[in-house]
Amino acid sequence: MMKKLGFLILISITLFLGIGFYNCIEITNYSVHDKALPKGFDGYRVVFLSDLHCKVLGENESKLIRAVDSCDPDIVVFTGDMIDGDHTDISSVRNLFAGLAGKYPMFAVSGNHEKDYPLNYRKLLEYYEEYGVNNLDNESRMLSLNGSHIGIYGLPYQNSYYIYKTSYPPDLSANDFNILLYHDATVFSPISSYGYNLVLSGHTHGGIVRIPFIGGMINNNGSLFSEYDNGMYQINGSTLISNRGIGDSYFPRFYNRSEVVCITLRTDTE
């Protein structure tokens, strides 16, 4: 009897760990409803990738490219930590850009790893040039469709002290609807007062270790059970989508699959 029980416990633990550490691409769909969105952009689709950390997903990044294609996006955005200091070979990023170039306009901001590893970052900037990725660090673009316009802005990663203290945002009055790309979701609270309709962020890796029914446990900065680590949040009329990211740093993901986020913008407020 005790032998049988011991065997059952062993099988259960093995299954729990095996399923937990298993990883594949998970596509998450969101609809963002906002009355401020111009009618011409109703149904506009944004694919949102974050924190690749040079992860290889199929030959020439084919699995990730297929996942993006399956969302049929109008644009693709990247919110930082595409590279890191653990990898000298960053060809996965190049393969990803190569597979998306010419199909979708691409927009990117840098994360903490781009900032910390300048050699790899320099290579990444070359790939931006080569494959037409718009670098939105302290930059913006106006997107136009069906006679309507929206704004897309970017901020490079910075110490959260500056996010709290610096006087943002820029003048957003040129468009009724504005998107911000910023790497770190954990500072959504001050950013929500900047006036952006939609904020897209990552950095948290979904809390890395996600315990079923409890959620993410560890943030990348070492804090436990941090806020805004996964999903959609709304404060001050601003919507955050926090992306769990794709790659790993420090510790492998647990019950936390690599995430490709597909967003559809809607003009109504359902």
Contact residues for Fe ion (CB under 5 A)?
A: 81, 111-112, 203
Pairing mode, if any, of strands 198-202 and 210-211?
A: unpaired
**Cβ(16)–Cβ(251) under 8 Å?**
no
We find the least distance from the C-beta atom of residue 196 to Fe ion, in angstroms, to be 20
- Residue closer to Fe ion, measured from CB, 260 or 265: 260
Q: Quick one: residue 48, left, alpha or beta (phi over 0 = left, psi -120 to 50 = alpha)?
A: beta
Question: Shortest CA distance to 249 belongs to which of 117, 60, 59?
Answer: 117
- Residue closer to Fe ion, measured from CB, 22 or 250: 250
C-alpha distances out from residue 5 to 11, 19, 243, Å: 10, 21, 40
- Residue closer to Fe ion, measured from CB, 175 or 226: 226
The span from the CA of 156 to the CA of 164, in Å, is 14
- Residue closer to Fe ion, measured from CB, 203 or 244: 203
- Residue closer to Fe ion, measured from CB, 99 or 245: 245
* Burial class of 182 by CB neighbour count within 10 A (0 to 12, 13 to 18, 19+): buried
Q: Which residue is nearest to Fe ion (CB)?
A: 203
We find the least distance from the C-beta atom of residue 117 to Fe ion, in angstroms, to be 12
We find the least distance from the C-beta atom of residue 159 to Fe ion, in angstroms, to be 13
* Burial class of 78 by CB neighbour count within 10 A (0 to 12, 13 to 18, 19+): buried
We find the least distance from the C-beta atom of residue 50 to Fe ion, in angstroms, to be 8
We find the least distance from the C-beta atom of residue 225 to Fe ion, in angstroms, to be 18
We find the least distance from the C-beta atom of residue 67 to Fe ion, in angstroms, to be 21
Q: Quick one: residue 21, left, alpha or beta (phi over 0 = left, psi -120 to 50 = alpha)?
A: alpha
C-alpha distances out from residue 105 to 73, 78, 101, 114, 134, Å: 9, 11, 8, 21, 8
- Residue closer to Fe ion, measured from CB, 115 or 266: 115
- Residue closer to Fe ion, measured from CB, 80 or 151: 80
We find the least distance from the C-beta atom of residue 269 to Fe ion, in angstroms, to be 32
The span from the CA of 171 to the CA of 166, in Å, is 14
